[in-house]
Amino acid sequence: MPSASQQIMRLGFGFAVSQALRVIIELGVPDLLAVGERSVDELAAATQSDADALYRVMRLLAPEGIFREVAPRHFELTEIGAVLRSDQPGPRDFVSMINSEAYLAFEQLLYSVRTGKPAFDKVFGSPRFDWLSEHPEQAALFQRAMVALSQGSNEAVAEACDFRPFTRIIDVGGGHGQLLSAILARNPHLSGVLFDLPSGVAAAHEGAGGDLPRTEFIAGDFFESVPSGDVYVIKKVVHDWDDGRAAAILRNCRKAMLPNGKVLVAETLVPPGDEPNQIKGIDVVMLAVTGGLERTEAQYASLFDAAGLRLERVIQTRGPISILEASPAYG
């Protein structure tokens, strides 16, 4: 069993594995190994890389289950590594995204801990989403990464909610539109509105998230206003913002909703206790990159209260994501 010092050392080297994944994705190594094992020399020639350097990176990733060294300096792709191929829907875009500008911001995590402010703004000179609006290639990668990160969760949300009482659904910050597409496919009586910044609306228009029948595409700023409807779905948006900004989004939904309207916030709740959970890592990324946070159920209840809403119930899905259903707290 590793000693305490060895375990700490392994944790400290986590950045090396993360960046090594980004490098082999950018070089296209998983695609080259899709047809079978190859030597490092062949891979290096195909990727215009230094063979010895590439070997060292692949040797690092082999114990992590990405590759298998079947003979000296010969590797094959594992089942885990196969999800990094370009023809497979999976986390490759998320790995590339999180290990680029977000990674650089995270180096200044101490700044965020001392100030409570996002390090991204300090490193890049503007907030994360403002920066993305000025860098279309990175914005497109971000949208693809969100599609990858949302695998399974959009379907889980769509099937867990009963949309029969509603007629017009507003997907606030809907981005690529994958969630709205899943909901509309299950509820042919609904019309939809995909509401987001221009980059998100463009991704939805291009079909990044699937078919969007009966949908109106509206670009705008949810801190200013949102379109009118009787049910608002806000998935993985509220966690991007601090309490003041998050409450502003919810408050605008409260103002715009039709009578008997509902707000459905789909987020992964931070569980109690100290068991390992991916959401705790994402929470610290939110701290450094966007200034947002992952929240407990009690924290969401307080947030709704600040926006003139009342948490009615928490709907569990078949995935780790939950749906917090809120109604107006007053008439």
> Where in the sequence numbering do the catalytic residues fall?
239
Kindly provide the b/e burial profile for residues 113-142, where b requires at least 16 CB atoms within 10 angstroms of the residue's own CB. eeeeebbbbebbeeebbebbeeeeebbbbb
- Closest residue by Cα to residue 245 from 267, 226, 222, 268: 222
At a CB cut-off of 8 Å and minimum separation 6, what does 264 contact? 161, 231, 232, 233, 234, 323, 324, 325, 326
Say what angle helices 297-306 and 243-256 make with each other, to 10 degrees. Answer: 60
Strands 191-196 and 168-172: parallel
Helices (H), the chain: 4-12, 14-27, 29-32, 40-47, 51-61, 92-98, 101-106, 109-115, 119-124, 128-133, 136-149, 153-160, 178-186, 198-205, 243-256, 278-289, 297-306
Look at the alpha carbons of 61, 64, 66, 68 in this order and tell me if their dihedral is positive or negative: positive
Count the Cβ atoms, other than its own, within 10 Å of residue 2: 9
**DSSP result, 38-72:** EEHHHHHHHHT--HHHHHHHHHHHGGGTSEEEEET
Count the Cβ atoms, other than its own, within 10 Å of residue 48: 7
Helix (H) or strand (E) holding 218: strand 215-219
Yes or no: say if 142 and 165 are a contact pair by the CB < 8 Å rule: no
Count the Cβ atoms, other than its own, within 10 Å of residue 193: 21
